[in-house]
Amino acid sequence: MSVCVVGLGYVGLPTALLFAQHHEVVGVDIDESRVDALNQGTLPFEEPGLPELFEEVRENFSAAVAPTEDADVYVIVTPTPLDQTVDVADLTAVRAAAEAIGDVLSPDDLVVLESTVPPGTTERLVVPSLELGGLSREQFDVAHCPERAIPGRTLDEVVGNDRVVGGLDVDAALRARELYADVVEGTIRTTDATTAEFVKLMENTHRDVNIALANEFAKIAEEIGVNVHDAIPLANEHPRVDVLSPGPGVGGHCITIDPRFLAQRTDSDRLISVARDVNDSMAAHVLGLVTDRLRGDHHATITVLGAAYKADVGDTRETPALPFVKLAENAGYEVRVHDPHVSEFAVEPTELDAAVLESDCLVVLTGHEAFADVDPERMAELMDGRDVVDARATLDRESWESAGFDVRVLGDGR
């Protein structure tokens, strides 16, 4: 069997390389430089295990800028961003991929959509786009198999997690299940395409709403004089409670966006929309903690530790650091950003010592393990101020306080 994976991003490329352990795979991307680099043996981003897998499957994998007609199976893994002007999914890339596949599609081929989409998209957009190539719906199979992998553990999760496959009909679901069974060790459940689309959006919306709840608990704890980081583990001892961790907001390409894909299809989204707003409000809340520390000195210099959207990854998509930096700059602060995982991050300087030199306040926005190892004594030598706001409860408070710092942790009202 020959597989063509369209979209070589954070999920598409690892998935394509996993398929290449079993099949001939052509990976397609509109970014010519990415295609050239891959054909010359260079990976476009970091992901644990990916270099080793790439090396192993090089003979079975090639990259191209357009789908090949030789494939029997096509998998679409293109981005589905939010069109911010109208708050609905921008399905341009999915439509373009389906139309390009439609041009080369043969009878009996299988097309699988992995991209996260609003309910109904597989049936109402993917199928008609494929049909533009000349075949009709009865001549090919279509299924939706939403990805469930978390960046930083993509390979382990693609292989290990259970999956849901929704077919436009039973045959399509069974064929798609067979395809994924080559690489997925978890259980693969079959359903219809729209249910599979809904399931994916429910998963990320569930996480967003639960993070919002943790963030609201953090704000309440500050008001009532309690440390939420003491309270959460105690609440989580209840067998049916699992409170997540508060933070400066929710980032990443999925959780910030997917709840809106549900909202665009319904008016029954009150809780979902409020949760989004709560999470979006956290950058301003953290800035409020900073302003309290700096006692209104709006000319102070702030050093942000962490540009990535979450711990120990180099991914800055939808990072809460960006709104925080914008708000802080608008308030008059000079802001520097340091992130050891994000070398290309546009804000200079990126070296820690230079970033903190003569700074008045440190603000931890990402819980990178590396930040737990930062030496507070060294920071005290370099900085002018002694204020720290830790929005991820990452630093060892005692050692920073012994070095003379005044540490404020998000959610600690004591």
Of 154 and 359, which has the nearer Cβ to ligand SAJ? Answer: 154
297 sits near ligand SAJ (criterion: CB under 6 A): no
Compute the distance between CA of residue 222 and CA of residue 217 in angstroms, rounded to an integer: 9
- C-beta of 11 vs 71, nearer to ligand SAJ: 11
* Assigned token pair, 210: 């639960």
Instruction: Supply the Cα-derived Rg of the chain in whole angstroms.
Output: 23
Q: Smallest distance from the beta carbon of 240 to ligand SAJ, in angstroms?
A: 18
27 versus 252: smaller Cβ distance to ligand SAJ: 252
CA distance linking residue 52 with residue 29, whole number of Å: 21
Between CA 86 and CA 106 the distance in angstroms is 36
Nearest distance from C-beta of residue 249 to ligand SAJ, angstroms: 7
What is the DSSP secondary structure assignment for residue 150, as one 8-state letter?
P
Kindly give the residue spans of alpha helices, DSSP state H, lying in 166-269: 170-181, 193-224, 228-235, 258-263
Position among 7, 9, 79, 252 found at the interface with ligand SAJ (CB under 6 A): 252
227 DSSP β-pair partners: 412
339: contact with ligand SAJ by CB under 6 A: no
User: Does 309 help bind ligand SAJ (rule: CB under 6 A)?
Assistant: yes
Site string for ligand SAJ, 85-124 (x = CB under 6 A): -------------------------------x--------
Among 149, 184, 286, 287, binds ligand SAJ (CB under 6 A): 149
- The one segment of 144-152, 283-291, 321-329, 344-352 that binds ligand SAJ by CB under 6 A: 144-152
Q: Check binding of 254 to ligand SAJ (CB under 6 A).
A: yes
The reply to whether 261 sits near ligand SAJ by the rule CB under 6 A is no
Within residues 170-209, the interface with ligand SAJ by CB under 6 A covers 203-204, 207
Residue 144, amino acid:
H
Residues 117, 112: Cα–Cα separation, whole Å: 13
Nearer to ligand SAJ, 137 or 207 (CB): 207
Question: Stretches 18-26, 46-54, 239-247, 338-346: which one binds ligand SAJ (CB under 6 A)?
Answer: 239-247
Planar angle of CA 318, 322, 328, nearest 5 degrees? 155
Judge contact between 361 and 389, C-beta under 8 A.
Answer: yes
Q: Does 397 bind ligand SAJ (CB under 6 A)?
A: no
Residue 310 is a binding residue for ligand SAJ (CB under 6 A): yes
Query: Is 243 in a helix, a strand, or coil?
Result: coil
148 binds ligand SAJ (CB under 6 A): yes
Q: What is the dihedral of CA 316, 320, 325, 331, to 10 degrees?
A: 170
Which of 30-38, 120-128, 143-151, 339-347 is the region at the interface with ligand SAJ (rule: CB under 6 A)?
143-151
Candidates 246-254, 351-359, 368-376, 400-408 — which segment interacts with ligand SAJ by CB under 6 A? 246-254
The helix (run of H) or strand (run of E) holding residue 191 is strand 188-192
User: What's the token pair of residue 21?
Assistant: 């352990």
Which positions are annotated as active-site residues? 200, 254
Residue 247 in contact with ligand SAJ, rule: CB under 6 A: yes
When binding is defined by CB under 6 A, the residue of 251, 323, 376, 385 that contacts ligand SAJ is: 251
Min separation Cβ 185 and ligand SAJ, Å: 16
Residue whose CB is less far from ligand SAJ, 368 or 386: 368
In the complex, minimum distance from the CB of residue 7 to ligand SAJ, in angstroms, rounded to a whole number: 13
Cα distances from 243 to residues 214, 256, 257, 268, in angstroms, run 6, 19, 22, 24
Query: How far, in Å, CA of 111 to CA of 127, rounded?
Result: 9
Residue with structure tokens 């009709």? Answer: 136
Min dist. Cβ of residue 212 to ligand SAJ (A): 9
218 is a contact residue toward ligand SAJ (CB under 6 A):
no
How many chain residues are in contact with ligand SAJ, going by CB under 6 A? 21
Q: How far is the CB of 172 from ligand SAJ (least distance, A)?
A: 22
Question: Taking each helix axis from N to C terminus, what angle separates 12-19 and 50-57, rounded to the nearest 10 degrees?
Answer: 40
* Angle between helical axes of 270-280 and 193-224 (0-180°, round to 10): 50
> How does DSSP classify residue 87?
T
> Which token pair is 403?
């070095």
By the 8 A CB rule, do 130 and 101 touch? yes
Residues that bind ligand SAJ (CB under 6 A): 116, 147-151, 203-204, 207, 211, 214, 244-245, 247, 250-252, 254-255, 309-310
